[in-house]
């Protein structure tokens, strides 16, 4: 760790007083991690410095051409005081997948994780202790050369910032109402849907807003080619229990490979459940509903962990009320098991957690 410079803040900020009132992503800790990339030199000068504004040239390429990727993960405070990360290696692996697609130079996954752990240990007092709270960690990379003209940049910043957070959905584990999106498309094969790049999120806003106006929490995305295969729900992966079998869309290039998704699949298979990754059309889902076979539906993601879906609206005429709008047993069990492992309350049989020193 000798090559990570540390400059501690001289004016620590007050920490949130009432941890039960924490929102998501509005408050930031005392420090941030920065690593520079310069063509020829590679990634260099890893440093932890006081949290503060970046000085960016107005022509910085990230502000024009969106060469930006990010990750999302959490640090959890266990009852015994340990600080836990959940499968962080997976985040850095995925970051490099995003990097490759976006023409950003790869990072050294092990070294970046080491930097991140060091950063978390320095701001460890910011990890809240109230139930369902954690420290959200946001690694991201931005292209910073001042240049107009479409090409990959030569200078980048890798950064990690952190925010103490409460639950992502104020509704908590309450089942949400979802609108099946038929006008807008999130991603298409050959595009960037399998990466965490900025443009995937800005392009999704409009659908999200139109759904909110109709009183839906989020949208269910369909594929961009045939406009019928289910892809994701909002910014989560999606699962359905149909006639006893768990089905989730296969990762075909337009879907983000969620770490919660992967973990949920492994857990459920470990419980002896049948889990199938395949294409699932909205017609097939509606048919299963009509036949009384659609037993559960839920989204998975780092922010909300598990988000049960209680109600689906397809084309304003087909309404599916799933499991009477209540949390299903699989959703509940996954939520308990995943959060149990994440907060160190349940035995970590799979070796998923990393304890920050």
Contacts with its own copies, residue ranges (CB under 8 A): 24-26, 28, 32, 51, 53-59, 62-68, 70, 101-103, 136, 138, 140, 142, 146-152, 159, 161, 163, 168, 183-186, 188-192, 197-206, 208-209, 224-225, 227, 234-235, 303
Containing 100, the helix (H) or strand (E) segment is helix 88-101
Specify burial of residue 114 (Cβ count, 10 A radius: 0-12, 13-18, 19+): middle
Closer residue to ligand PLP (CB): 17 or 148: 148
CB 126, min distance to ligand PLP, A: 21
Which tokens sit at 230? 């289910």
Closer residue to ligand PLP (CB): 175 or 249: 249
Closer residue to ligand PLP (CB): 260 or 323: 260
Q: Which does 259 bind (CB under 5 to 8 A by kind): ligand PLP, its own copies, none?
A: ligand PLP
**183 in Cβ contact with 207 (< 8 Å):** yes
Q: Which does 310 bind (CB under 5 to 8 A by kind): its own copies, ligand PLP, none?
A: none
Which tokens sit at 189? 């094969």
Measured CA angle at 224 (ends 223, 230), to 5 deg: 10
CB 327, min distance to its own copies, A: 23
CB 23, min distance to ligand PLP, A: 18
Q: Which does 14 bind (CB under 5 to 8 A by kind): its own copies, ligand PLP, none?
A: none
CB 237, min distance to ligand PLP, A: 5
Residues in the site for ligand PLP, rule: CB under 6 A? Answer: 72, 196, 232, 235-237, 256, 258-261, 300-302
Positive or negative CA dihedral for 338, 302, 35, 192? positive
Closer residue to ligand PLP (CB): 121 or 203: 203
Q: Which does 203 bind (CB under 5 to 8 A by kind): ligand PLP, its own copies, none?
A: its own copies
| C-alpha to C-alpha distance for 85 and 72, rounded to whole angstroms | 12
Measured CA angle at 165 (ends 171, 232), to 5 deg: 55
Closer residue to ligand PLP (CB): 122 or 165: 165
Closer residue to its own copies (CB): 35 or 288: 35
CB 200, min distance to its own copies, A: 7
Give residues with Cβ within 8 angstroms of 292, minimum separation 6.
none
Phi, psi dihedrals of residue 313, rounded to the nearest 5°: -115, 120
Measured CA angle at 23 (ends 20, 27), to 5 deg: 110
Q: Which does 54 bind (CB under 5 to 8 A by kind): ligand PLP, its own copies, none?
A: its own copies
Positive or negative CA dihedral for 159, 162, 167, 170? negative
Q: What is the distance between the terminal CA atoms of the chain, rounded to a whole angstrom?
A: 12
DSSP assignments along 238-258, one per residue: EEEEETTEEEE----SSS---
CB 36, min distance to ligand PLP, A: 26
Closer residue to its own copies (CB): 247 or 304: 304
Q: Which does 237 bind (CB under 5 to 8 A by kind): its own copies, ligand PLP, none?
A: ligand PLP
Closer residue to ligand PLP (CB): 48 or 173: 173
CB 257, min distance to ligand PLP, A: 8
Q: Which does 256 bind (CB under 5 to 8 A by kind): ligand PLP, its own copies, none?
A: ligand PLP
At what angle are helices 88-101 and 109-122 packed, to 10 degrees? 130
Q: Which does 17 bind (CB under 5 to 8 A by kind): its own copies, ligand PLP, none?
A: none
Q: Which does 62 bind (CB under 5 to 8 A by kind): its own copies, ligand PLP, none?
A: its own copies
On the CB side of 71, CA atoms within 13 Å amount to 28
Specify burial of residue 24 (Cβ count, 10 A radius: 0-12, 13-18, 19+): middle
């Amino acid at each position: 760790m000798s090559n990570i410079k540390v400059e501690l803040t001289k004016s620590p900020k007050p920490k949130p007083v009432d941890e039960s009132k924490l929102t998501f992503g509005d408050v930031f800790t005392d420090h941030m991690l920065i690593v520079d990339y310069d063509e020829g030199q590679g990634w260099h000068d890893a440093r932890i410095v006081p949290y503060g504004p970046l000085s960016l040239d107005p022509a910085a390429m990230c502000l024009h051409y969106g060469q930006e990727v990010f990750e999302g993960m959490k640090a959890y405070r266990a009852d015994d005081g340990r600080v836990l990360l959940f499968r962080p290696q997976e985040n850095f692996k995925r970051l490099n997948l995003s990097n490759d697609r976006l023409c950003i130079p790869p990072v050294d996954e092990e070294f970046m994780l080491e930097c991140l752990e060091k950063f978390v240990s320095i701001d460890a007092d910011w990890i809240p202790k109230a139930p369902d709270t954690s420290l959200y960690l946001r690694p991201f990379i931005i292209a910073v050369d001042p240049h107009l003209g479409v090409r990959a940049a030569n200078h980048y910043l890798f950064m990690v910032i952190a925010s103490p957070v409460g639950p992502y959905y104020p509704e908590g584990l309450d089942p949400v109402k979802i609108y099946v999106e038929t006008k807008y498309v999130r991603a298409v094969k050959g595009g960037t849907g399998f990466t965490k790049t900025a443009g995937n999120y800005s392009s999704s806003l409009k659908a999200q807003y139109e759904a909110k106006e109709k009183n839906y929490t989020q949208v269910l995305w369909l594929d961009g080619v045939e406009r019928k295969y289910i892809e994701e729900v909002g910014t989560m992966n999606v699962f359905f229990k149909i006639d006893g079998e768990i089905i989730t869309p296969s990762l075909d290039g337009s879907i983000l490979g969620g770490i919660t998704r992967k973990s949920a699949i492994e857990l459920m298979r470990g419980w002896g459940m049948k889990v199938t990754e395949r294409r699932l059309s909205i017609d097939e889902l509606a048919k299963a509903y009509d036949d009384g076979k659609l037993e559960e539906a839920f989204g998975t993601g780092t922010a909300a962990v598990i988000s049960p879906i209680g109600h689906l609206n397809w084309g304003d005429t087909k309404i599916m009320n799933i499991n009477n709008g209540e949390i299903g047993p699989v959703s509940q069990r996954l939520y308990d098991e995943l959060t149990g492992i994440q907060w160190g309350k349940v035995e970590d049989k799979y070796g998923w957690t990393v304890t920050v020193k």
